[in-house]
Structure 1
Amino acid sequence: MKSRLLYILFILTATSLFAQTPDSLNVSREEVLVVQDTINNKQSYDPLAPSRAAFYSAVLPGLGQAYNKKYWKIPIIYAGMATGVYFYIQNDKDYDRFRDAYKRRLAGFTDDEFYGSGTTPVISDDRLIDAQISAQKNKDISIIVSLAFYLVNIIDANVDAHLSQYNVSDDLTLSPNLYVDPISTQANYSLSFKFNLK
């Protein structure tokens, strides 16, 4: 009888261990909301953007700045190049006036605009030669200024495209500090600069 009792007890515990009812299973469904991190919104690095911006500026000055969305630089570029062209044209006209007057004097005429109304010229022949040299030098400088603005336009577009992709951390702070020295009890003023590269 004792063995029967153990046998029944064994069967009851075994069936209760292995028999599972639907109520005994706890199935839970968990919903998770995934939020995109807006603090570290990193854009992918485009290695061709600087060369593309430089090419655009070389083809049409100011187009690289428009590609970089720095529209305020375009009038500065065109103003610099136009100033160089304007002074080149003005100095070329002056050079032609001085050269024509000097050639007429060498031919024996005394009716140029720099001769005046008397018998002696107001501006001498040597001064006309100096004026031609000065006007030629100013023409060359005007060409250099225009080319310099053109080259700066290309370099600026390239550098700006490089730097626009550079991620600067928000942990860049500059704050004043007041520190009291415990030994001398004197206030020490300082400037704290925090720069965090990630």
Structure 2
Amino acid sequence: MRSWTACLDCLRIFLSLIFFLFGCTIYSYGQTLRSRIDRSFQPLSHYSLSPEVPGSLDARQDTAEGGESLPSPNSVMYKSMIIPGWGQVTNNQIWKVPIVYGLLGGLTWYSIDLTRRYHDYRAAYYNLNDQTSDDQRFGPTPDYIPESANLEQLKTIRNTYRNRRDMVYIGIALAYGLNIVDAYVFAHMRSFDVSDNLSMRPSLKPDVMAHAAFGVTLSVELFKKSK
């Protein structure tokens, strides 16, 4: 019961860190959008088509205001897969790198400490158990574990450290994946064209739905406000 309680505590801490990093991503994206006040939606002719493949939209390159070339989201994703934090640097979000490495480094250090303690109690349980051979298969018994320790307690503590370590391994994998998702999603968001001069006009109109049933269609029109 205690082992599951400890695992749940570790999971709560990890989820809190994930929500913190996700919140930082949303806040950073909001600040980026606010900084692009003068930008507006561009017509299709704004993009240059590849001369080798006429009409190919895949050949275009997204550019920011002032001619700044935006990185490809796939390229950013691959960079984050190779080196955590590389995608954030490519997205000009270098402030996220300490968060990424703090999360990965903290979880890695915690997993190493849990693994060491698990090995210690595994060796003590094996060496002090009368039903196992005295060959110190898992190493000598650590000095801080008394030879008069209760075997059931040693087994419980050993299993607790092992379960915690396994949960931390899952956390490391999730943190690594979150690093990739964060860089990939923000790379897509950077190409969004948003301006404070934009507005929307919602409209409702009757329509015929499936099976000849009457319904209502909601449409939203985005347009640029006249100055």
User: TM-score by structure 2 length?
Assistant: 0.52
Which residue of the other structure, out of 183, 191, 214, is the alignment partner of 1:165? 191
Answer yes or no: is the 8 Å Cα contact 2:91–2:183 preserved in 1. Answer: yes
SS in structure 2 of the partner of residue 147 of structure 1: helix
Instruction: Check if 1:71 corresponds to 2:94.
Output: yes
Give the greater-gyration-radius structure (CA): 1
Instruction: Check if 1:128 corresponds to 2:176.
Output: no
Which residue of the other structure, out of 159, 163, 168, is the alignment partner of 1:142? 168
RMSD: 3.0
Distance 2:38 2:190 in 1: 18
Instruction: Check if 1:92 corresponds to 2:115.
Output: yes
Identical aligned residues as a percent? 26
Aligned length in residues: 134
Answer yes or no: is the 8 Å Cα contact 2:80–2:179 preserved in 1. Answer: yes
Distance 1:61 1:197 in 2: 39
Distance 1:197 1:148 in 2: 40
**Cα gap change, 1:39 to 1:113, in 2 (>3 Å):** closer
Answer yes or no: is the 8 Å Cα contact 1:87–1:142 preserved in 2. Answer: yes
- Which structure is higher in RCO with an 8 Å CA cutoff and minimum separation 6? 2
Unpaired stretches in structure 2, ≥5 consecutive residues: 1-36, 48-60, 63-69, 135-140, 200-220
**Cα gap change, 1:40 to 1:133, in 2 (>3 Å):** closer
Residue of structure 2 in register with 1:52 after alignment: 75
After TM superposition, give the deviation of residue 135 of structure 1 in Å: 0.7
**Cα gap change, 1:172 to 1:141, in 2 (>3 Å):** farther
- Give the alignment of 1:1-198 within 5 angstroms: 39-40=38-39, 46=62, 49-107=72-130, 113-115=144-146, 121=148, 123-171=149-197, 197-198=223-224
Residue of structure 2 in register with 1:182 after alignment: none
SS in structure 2 of the partner of residue 168 of structure 1: coil
**Cα gap change, 1:130 to 1:168, in 2 (>3 Å):** same
Distance 1:78 1:39 in 2: 35
Distance 1:151 1:104 in 2: 40
Answer yes or no: is the 8 Å Cα contact 2:39–2:195 preserved in 1. Answer: no
Cα deviation, 1:10-47, whole Å, max 9, x if unaligned, reads xxxxxxxxxxxxxxxxxxxxxxxxxxxx9457685539
